[in-house]
C-alpha cells in the first residue's frame, strides 16, 4: 500500500461531516468498520439526504488483518459509480483511527479530498468504558439505523 507518512488528512467533526454530506452532492461517506460493527452497532443513516453509506471493511473481523486490496476495491467501486478523484471522501470508523489510515491510503492513490471523521461513529470510551456517550456520530444525535 506504500508509505503514507507525508500525507496530511483533514479531521472533520461529525457535525461538519453531516453538513458537508447535506450540502455537497459529490461528498461521500465511507464506513470502514467491520460487518459485525455495521450489524450490531449500527450505521449512519443518510436516507434523508438521498444518499447511502459506502461500506467497505478496512480490516476483517476477527483476524483484524488490514485488507491488502482495500484501495483497489474502493477505487473500483468509486470508478464504477462515476465518482472521480476530486470528490470529497469522508472516512468513518468506530473512533477515527482506522478511518484515518484508510483516508491516507486513498489520498496516496490520488484522491484529492480525503477527510477523516474525528471521533467516528461511537467516539472514545467514557469513564464506564462505554462508547457512544461522549463523542461521535451517535452521541451527536445524528441519524443512524441498526444494521
- Spatial neighbors of 27 by CB under 8 A, at least 6 apart, are 20, 21, 87, 88, 89, 90
In the predicted structure, residue 3 carries a pLDDT above the cut 50: no
Instruction: Indicate the range of 36-45, 57-66, 75-84 predicted with least confidence.
Output: 57-66
Mean pLDDT over 5-19 rounds to 90
CA 54 to CA 52: how far, in whole Å? 6
Distance CA 138, CA 145 (A): 10
**Measured between alpha carbons, how far is 22 from 19 in angstroms, rounded to an integer?**
5
88 forms beta bridges with: 113
Pick the CATH number of 10-141 from 3.40.250.10, 3.40.50.1000, 3.40.20.10, 3.20.20.70: 3.40.250.10
DSSP state of 136: S
Residues 65-82: what's their mean pLDDT? 94
Amino acid at each position: 500500500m506504500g508509505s503514507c507518512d507525508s500525507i496530511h488528512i483533514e479531521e472533520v467533526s461529525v457535525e461538519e461531516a453531516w453538513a458537508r454530506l447535506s450540502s455537497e452532492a459529490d461528498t461521500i461517506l465511507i464506513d470502514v468498520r467491520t460487518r459485525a460493527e455495521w450489524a450490531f452497532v449500527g450505521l449512519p443513516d443518510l436516507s434523508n439526504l438521498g444518499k447511502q453509506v459506502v461500506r467497505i471493511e478496512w480490516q476483517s473481523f476477527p483476524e483484524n488483518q488490514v485488507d491488502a486490496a482495500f484501495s483497489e476495491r474502493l477505487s473500483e467501486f468509486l470508478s464504477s459509480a462515476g465518482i472521480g478523484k476530486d470528490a470529497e471522501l469522508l472516512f468513518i470508523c468506530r473512533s477515527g483511527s482506522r478511518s484515518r489510515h484508510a483516508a491516507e491510503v486513498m489520498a496516496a492513490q490520488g484522491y484529492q479530498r480525503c477527510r477523516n471523521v474525528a471521533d467516528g461513529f461511537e467516539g472514545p470510551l467514557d469513564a464506564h468504558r462505554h462508547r457512544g456517550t461522549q463523542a461521535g456520530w451517535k452521541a451527536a444525535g445524528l441519524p443512524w439505523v441498526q444494521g
